[in-house]
Structure 1
């Protein structure tokens, strides 16, 4: 399966973007874990520091009391036990605040509070004068209380150390993966970037090559158009000159044949007279053919100056007036809808409808009176279904001209619009086979369509589709 370049680049950038996002999220997790680990470590250090301060101050207080009991020197009681207790209490409150989010540590602190209360009482009683027996008892009780305090402090420190250890393990896990993930994602992003750069560079060079070729083709096309216009002008001049020059010998042949008949008709045998009549008939057909060719060469040539809004109702009346004599002779009935205004060449439209109506009259059925029905409907390009997407919003008029004449085989529906194409012999129906070709040329020049439908013995329908305006010049 071949993917376009833009799809490949889009997929590549999507993958690179996804990899970068994943690496960013992973880096965020690593950084967050690192900060959490550092915060937990600082917390553990702070808790240990406060516990160490409490323990040290208790030991200093005990040492002061022992020194006082041994020496009776009151300087050992400076600062007093009350001041030392206040300091210890301050550290304890700070420690409770630090561990406020840890219920387990709070329970240990509750127990520590009880032990400190006992210790305060021992310190306060030890600072007073007592007997030797009482001092020994106080020392033993102090040692027991100190052991219990030490154990509780160690329990709290172990809790902090375990939490630090858990955070360290998680950080170690992320830190082990972080470097490979960042390395791999960077390699992937770099490879995709290199691939995108190479692809875009190749595409850019290809685009430059195509633009260069297009400019070359446009120059060649412009030259060919100029040459074609020149050739068309020469052909038009040739057609005019040829038709004019051919008319002269035809006139001479016609004149001489008339004189020959008038002057020597009585002296000519019947065979000679018949030959002269056939020659006159051939000259007449030749004259019609030359005139039709001249009309065909000029048909469909429209310029911006010749385009106007044509009232098709007025135009149809003019065409029917031109054919009035023939319509009365053939007893033709013509019915038609009200037609809209259409932009185009008035002369070309006149010729278009006159040729189609004349064609219907010529191929009328001898078994029944001829009836011609003209219907119209306005459709958008989308509804019409014949144009490209860029003309879907253009309005078109679909005109159908139906008759009940002799009709034709549907297999010849396209052939009848070709020049010199005849479905009947010249002895049956007159004509040069150019009329419908002229109609197609006129419709094509107005960016429209023409079709024919028919059934032998049933009649024919010619469908003409014309845009209401000539703003869109795109051919379909």
Structure 2
């Protein structure tokens, strides 16, 4: 499966970002375990320190009592047993506070409390003179009590050391994994960075090459456009001059044939008169064809200055007024909606609808009254389905002109918009086959669309779709 350069770079950066995040999380865990280990070590030191203070105070108190019993010197009892007990109590309460999060240590402290109470009583009795009678038994009881306290203190210290050891092992595990993780993540980041640099460099060089080729193509295209514009101007000048030059011989032929008929009509045999009539008819058709060619060459040539707000209702009424005579001859009925205002060339729109209506009148069915219905619908470019993506937000007006004439086969729907294309012979219907080609040229010049739909012997529908606003630049009339 082929991946584009952008996808490869995006995937590479995603992998690098994932690796960096994983390394960051791992580093955070290492740092957190280090801090936890340091905190646990400090906690163990603090507990050991307090326990050591308690045992030292107890042993000093016990030594003071023994010294007093041996020397009878009251200075050994300074400070008093009560003061010493208060000091031990303060240390005990501090132990309670710093081990509040450890239920096992709290239970050991409960046991230690009971042992300390017993020891307090022994120290208190040992400091009284009445207790000197049974010194031997008091010493033994004190040693046993002190042994129990030492044992409990060692148990509490072992618990703290065990917790420190547990934290140390976890920290050691993360510390061992941390170095390879950092090395691997750094290696992956370096590889991806080198790959990205190489890929971007290659892409940049390719982009420069494409830009240079595009500039070359643009220069060639500009030259071709200039050449095409020059050629079009020459063709238009040729068509205009040729058309006008053809008019003069036609006028002479027409004039001479008229004189010939008027002066020698009685002398000419029937065959000659018929030939002259056919010649006059051919001249008339030639004159119509030349005029239509001139109209076609000018159709759709709009400039920014010719673009105005066209009231389509008023324009349609003017077209119907121009076709009033032919509509009455066909006894035609025209129905139309209230059309919107559309930007465009008033003259071109007039010619567009006049040709479409004239086409419906020409191909009216002889078996029924001609009916023409004109409807419209406003759509966005996206709803239209034919507009470019840049025109999806623009508003279009779809105007449908439907008649009940002779119709046509849908297979010829595209052909009828080509110049000189006729579906019927000249003997059946007059015309040069240019009218609908002019309509298409006008619609195209206004950035619109035109389609035709027909059913033989039932009628035809022409759909003209025009944007309400002309946003694109209009072609130069000389182009």
- What is the TM-score when the length of structure 2 is the normalising length? 0.90
Separation (CA, whole Å) in 1 of partners of 2:383 and 2:61: 104
Cα distance in 1, alignment partners of residues 76 and 83 from structure 2? 13
Other structure's SS at 2:377 match = strand
Question: Residue 428 of structure 1 corresponds to which residue in structure 2?
Answer: 428
- Partner in structure 2 of residue 400 of structure 1: 400
Q: Secondary structure at the match of 2:364?
A: coil
Distance in structure 1 (CA, Å) of the matches to 2:27 and 2:474? 58
Rounded to whole Å, the distance in 1 between the matches of 2:305 and 2:474 is 19
Match of 2:318 in 1: 318
Q: How far apart in 2 are the matches of 1:332 and 1:217?
A: 55
Gap regions ≥5 residues in structure 1: none
Paired with 1:62 and 1:119, the residues of 2 have a C-alpha distance of 9
CA distance in 2, matches of 1:254, 1:277: 10
Tell me how far apart the structure 1 counterparts of residues 312 and 90 of structure 2 sit (CA, whole Å). 107
In 1: Cα distance, 2:130 partner to 2:367 partner: 154
**4+ residue runs of structure 1 moved beyond 6 angstroms?**
130-133
Shift, 1:86, TM fit:
3.8
Partner of 1:34: 34
**Displacement, 1:249?**
1.8
CA distance in 2, matches of 1:313, 1:417: 25
Partner of 1:161: 161
1:455 deviation in Å? 1.6
Q: When the two structures are aligned, how many residues end up with a matched partner?
A: 475
Deviations 1:217-261 (A, max 9, x none): 333333333333332222221111111111122222223333344
Indicate conservation of the 8 Å contact 2:302/2:474, yes or no. no
Q: Please state if 1:224 is matched with 2:219.
A: no
1:373 aligned partner:
373
Matches of 1:302 and 1:24, distance apart in 2: 67
Q: Give the superposition deviation at 1:129.
A: 5.3
CA contact under 8 A between 1:391 and 1:472: conserved in structure 2? Answer: no
Cα distance change, pair 78–398 in 1 and its aligned pair in 2 (3 A)? closer
CA contact (8 A) 2:304 2:474 kept: no
Shift of 1:152: 1.4
Match runs of 1:383-462 below 5 Å:
383-462=383-462
Paired residue for 2:59? 59
Q: Which residue does 2:281 correspond to in 1? A: 281
Using the TM superposition, name which of 180-189 and 231-240 deviates more. 180-189
Find the counterpart in structure 1 of residue 382 from structure 2: 382
**d(CA) in 1 for partners of 2:334, 2:49:** 115
- What CA distance in whole angstroms lies between the structure 2 residues aligned with 1:62 and 1:334? 129
Cα distance in 1 between the residues matched to 2:344 and 2:267: 58
1:401 match: secondary structure: strand
Say if 2:4 is the partner of 1:14. Answer: no
Matched-pair contact (CA < 8 Å) for 1:447–1:467: yes
Q: What per-residue deviation string (whole Å, max 9, x for no partner) do you get for residues 49-97 of structure 1?
A: 2222222333333334444444555555554544444433333333233
CA RMSD, Structure 1 to Structure 2 (Å): 2.7
Q: How far is 1:342 from its partner?
A: 1.9
